[in-house]
Chains A and B, each alone.
Chain A
Amino acid sequence: MENNIIIDLKNISVAFGDNQVLKNLNLYIRDGEFITLLGPSGCGKTTTLRIIAGFTAPDEGQVYFEGKLINNVPPYKRHVNTVFQRYALFSHLNVYENVAFGLRNKRMKEKEIRETVKQMLELVNLKGFERRHINSLSGGQQQRVAIARALAVNPRVLLLDEPLGALDLKLRKDMQNELKNIQQRLGITFIYVTHDQEEALSMSDTIVVMNNGIIQQIGTPKDIYNEPKNAFVADFIGESNIVDGIMRDDFVVDFSGHRFDCLDKGFAKDEAVDVVVRPEDVDVVPLEKGMLKGTVTSVVFKGVHYEMIVDIGGFKWMIQSTDEQQEGDKIGLYIEPDAIHIMKKSEYSGMFGDYSSFSEEYDELSNAEEPEEADGEEG
């Protein structure tokens, strides 16, 4: 991957009325990378995308495209194209005319248009759909038309605003692969917005985790998962047990009433920290061999493993294990040094990582209210 920076956002702030949506955001994007803006609803990810597209003007800050300031360049002159959340296809035109729309604005010759449209429809596997009406297409097919339409004008950067949000799970997985393939084949930059952490992890070169208009962490999917910067990131990406700990020395940490070896260093002596342990990294052992001891309060069969909630001194841990335990069993837990990740205390400390009020339904509900961010501007 080259190191050319194609888009550079400097000190961007945006407010809609009293609502500060982006707070002094700095972000640069390299040419040819697949970057994902990840965060919960209202975190400012869609607004960031709209600033790059030119639909929203930042109150403060600069937007650079290949080193040139483009704050005052209108959307129709930017070399950036968007795939919208609900596709925004032109339903009065057929598939062919939708894909040709941008080409006609460029006053391209009819022959070239025909050639490009054909190419694009082949790229998204919609060969032979030229004369079809938009309303006669399925959600997945509409999505493909939207992608073809945006790619037809040969953009340097493609912006995708939760493009798979309206598709069902199976189709989503297929489209994820396909999008990744398209991106690699064309070699252009994709900026992808989503609230789905799994999607972000499996597709991106780089993930930008955002919350409340502030970037929480930028990194590769592995970095983000294995080395979360704070409790918010640890909780948002995957499942995590987050407990208070005290760093006794380099590689030594106390938490839950026990001293553990770990791989982290560089903290002050006796510094209070957040300790992250992923549920799949905890081993269940007989009670007497456990570093920690707890009582199983619930067990759910998940197929590949059992997911249980274990009460350890009043703090509820989530543990994933292939061995079945019974509710009420007392078990021991063993944690390897490389399973422990130490984070500095942050504003999110103590807010996440306790499973005492955990229920899956609750989790799904908070996801369901998600894809409304684009409307934030009107309110």
Chain B
Amino acid sequence: MKILSKIYTFLVFFFLYIPIFVLIIFSFNESKSTSVFTGFSFDWYLALLEQEDILNALKTTLILAVGSSVISTVFGTAAAVGIDSLRKGWLRSATMGVTNIPMMNPEIVTGFSMMLLFVFASKLLGISDSMGFGTLMIAHITFELPYVILNVLPKLRQTDRNLAEAAQDLGCRPVQAFFKVVLPSIKPGIITGMIMAFTLSLDDFIISYFTNGREFQTLPTIIYSMTKKRVTPVIYSLSTLIFFSILLLLILTNLIQYLNEKKQNKTSD
């Protein structure tokens, strides 16, 4: 039984990783071939550096991800506090229902419907070329908000309601009480929400594709247009870099989490 499950685990992870390993290996290929490895080189990484549109897209993607995740975290945390203080009733259920829509709706419908809104709004306002960074930002904030809210809400629910009262009891104004006492206790939820928002923004293709106005490229949309054309190993080197950045990010966040847990265990001994 043990051996069987080990073999099975190996096979599943082999399936998950074989394409990625192939891609990494061939990013160092000397020739243009995507099936035969002819020799080791950094050519495709150097080629990547010369592609100005990719570097621009990278810049856009990062600005977009940082901006939208910060905004949606602040906005979403405030909304979560608001929702949490709502009494059970139609307004609360309605708000929760609306919050779930962008998560449940297929991304293509979300993207397409926002595109319709932006097209209509620009016609109404008489702007010819309305789609761009602004619409991308709005779209990203909109689909990130539910993830922030759904990460913060459970933490708020776990927080002892008396905590804010205790702070007020000891001389804090209500707003001070929130920042001094409630915020630290929901911080883990806020951070998780923000990381999720950030990675979702980095990774998003479909919604960006419909709301970027075809001119304003993010990294995923530029990958899309590259793969539409001829196969070029530049994609390999780009993907390899992305892979290692994500790996680094994941290991870092897990390490931080692990160290935090360890620290907490230590103090409780």
Q: Touch between A and B in complex, CB under 8 Å?
A: yes
Map CB proximity to A onto B57-83 as digits: 1 under 8 Å, 0 otherwise. 000000000000000000000000000
Pick 11 A–B contacts, CB within 8 A, sort by A. Answer: A55-B165, A76-B172, A84-B160, A88-B165, A90-B184, A92-B184, A101-B170, A105-B171, A136-B267, A153-B171, A378-B87
Nearest A residue to B166 via CB reads A88
Q: Which 10 A-B pairs have the closest CB atoms?
A: A102-B170, A105-B171, A88-B162, A133-B267, A92-B184, A88-B166, A136-B268, A84-B162, A75-B168, A76-B168
Check: B169 CB closer than 8 A to any chain A CB.
yes
Cα of A150 to Cα of B162 in the assembled complex, Å: 13
The residues of B that contact A89 with a CB separation of less than 8 Å are: 166
Asked if A82 contacts B165 (CB within 8 A), the reply is yes
Check: B173 CB closer than 8 A to any chain A CB.
yes
Check: B215 CB closer than 8 A to any chain A CB.
no
Map CB proximity to A onto B149-192 as digits: 1 under 8 Å, 0 otherwise. 00000000000111101111111111010001100110100000
Map CB proximity to A onto B239-269 as digits: 1 under 8 Å, 0 otherwise. 0000000000000000000000000100111
Check: A320 CB closer than 8 A to any chain B CB.
no
Nearest A residue to B187 via CB reads A92
Asked if B162 contacts A85 (CB within 8 A), the reply is yes
The residues of B that contact A150 with a CB separation of less than 8 Å are: 169-170
Check: A367 CB closer than 8 A to any chain B CB.
no
Map CB proximity to B onto A115-158 as digits: 1 under 8 Å, 0 otherwise. 00000000000000000110110000000000001100100000
The residues of B that contact A378 with a CB separation of less than 8 Å are: 87, 161
Asked if A135 contacts B264 (CB within 8 A), the reply is yes
**Interface extent on A, as a size class?**
20 to 34
Asked if B171 contacts A90 (CB within 8 A), the reply is no
Nearest A residue to B267 via CB reads A133
Asked if A84 contacts B166 (CB within 8 A), the reply is yes
Partner of A82, one of B163, B166, B264, B267: B166
Nearest B residue to A153 via CB reads B170
Map CB proximity to B onto A96-108 as digits: 1 under 8 Å, 0 otherwise. 0000011001100
Task: For the complex formed, measure the closest distance between the CB of B190 and the CB atoms of chain A, giving whole angstroms.
Answer: 13
Choose among B163, B170, B174, B185 the residue with the greatest number of A CB atoms under 10 Å from its CB. Answer: B170
The residues of B that contact A248 with a CB separation of less than 8 Å are: none
* A residues whose Cβ falls under 8 Å from a Cβ of B: 53, 55, 74-76, 80-82, 84-86, 88-92, 101-102, 105-106, 132-133, 135-136, 149-150, 153, 374, 378
Cα of A120 to Cα of B79 in the assembled complex, Å: 39
Asked if B181 contacts A90 (CB within 8 A), the reply is yes
Cα of A102 to Cα of B87 in the assembled complex, Å: 30
Nearest A residue to B173 via CB reads A76
Asked if A82 contacts B160 (CB within 8 A), the reply is no
Partner of A149, one of B170, B173, B181, B268: B170
Choose among B171, B176, B187 the residue with the greatest number of A CB atoms under 10 Å from its CB. Answer: B171
Cα of A217 to Cα of B170 in the assembled complex, Å: 32
Task: For the complex formed, measure the closest distance between the CB of B59 and the CB atoms of chain A, giving whole angstroms.
Answer: 37
The residues of A that contact B171 with a CB separation of less than 8 Å are: 76, 102, 105-106, 153
The residues of B that contact A84 with a CB separation of less than 8 Å are: 160, 162, 165-166
Asked if A135 contacts B185 (CB within 8 A), the reply is no
Asked if A374 contacts B162 (CB within 8 A), the reply is yes
Map CB proximity to A onto B179-214 as digits: 1 under 8 Å, 0 otherwise. 011001101000000000000000000000000000
The residues of B that contact A91 with a CB separation of less than 8 Å are: 185
Partner of A75, one of B161, B169, B181: B169
The residues of A that contact B165 with a CB separation of less than 8 Å are: 53, 55, 75, 82, 84, 88
Map CB proximity to A onto B128-168 as digits: 1 under 8 Å, 0 otherwise. 00000000000000000000000000000000111101111
Partner of A136, one of B163, B170, B172, B269: B269
Asked if B172 contacts A105 (CB within 8 A), the reply is yes
Cα of A290 to Cα of B2 in the assembled complex, Å: 78
Choose among A53, A88, A92 the residue with the greatest number of B CB atoms under 10 Å from its CB. Answer: A88
Task: For the complex formed, measure the closest distance between the CB of A93 and the CB atoms of chain B, giving whole angstroms.
Answer: 8
Choose among B166, B174, B180, B181 the residue with the greatest number of A CB atoms under 10 Å from its CB. Answer: B166
Map CB proximity to A onto B113-141 as digits: 1 under 8 Å, 0 otherwise. 00000000000000000000000000000
Partner of A86, one of B87, B160, B172: B160
Asked if A86 contacts B162 (CB within 8 A), the reply is yes
Asked if B172 contacts A92 (CB within 8 A), the reply is no
The residues of B that contact A106 with a CB separation of less than 8 Å are: 171
Given contact pairs A76-B173, A80-B169, A136-B267, a sample of 7 additional A-B residue pairs in the complex whose CB atoms are under 8 Å apart: A74-B174, A76-B171, A88-B163, A136-B268, A150-B170, A153-B171, A374-B162
Partner of A81, one of B169, B181, B187: B169
Asked if A90 contacts B163 (CB within 8 A), the reply is yes
Cα of A150 to Cα of B171 in the assembled complex, Å: 11
Partner of B170, one of A74, A105, A135, A374: A105
